[in-house]
Amino acid sequence: MILNRLKRRWRTLFHKDVVEQQLDDELRFHLERDTARNIESGMSEEDARHEAGLALDLEGRKNAEVVATMAEIVRSLDSRR
């Protein structure tokens, strides 16, 4: 498990462009999938893409809040040592 984390961090540090491209691809996939679902539910293409983007932004903010909370918990636990 620690080795996997180290590999990911190494890759992020030294292959940032690859990691960023993978993240862009992942976000694009979700945006396109959610846009298609919204169109199937009767939205115009413009509204569907806008709604999908808002949903991804909200999800990203929630994930960022979870990560920040977890980091704060870890810092708090570390400070008790």
User: Could you write out the DSSP letters of every residue in 21-80?
Assistant: HHHHHHHHHHHHHHHHHHHHTT--HHHHHHHHHHHHHHHHHHHHHHHHHHHHHHHHHHHT
pLDDT in tens, 41-80: 999 999 999 999 988 887 777 777 877 887 788 788 777 7
Domain of residue 51: give its range: 2-79
Query: What does pTM read for this prediction?
Result: 0.60
Residue 26 has pLDDT above 80, yes or no: yes
Mean pLDDT value across the chain: 83
For the chain, the domain total comes to 1
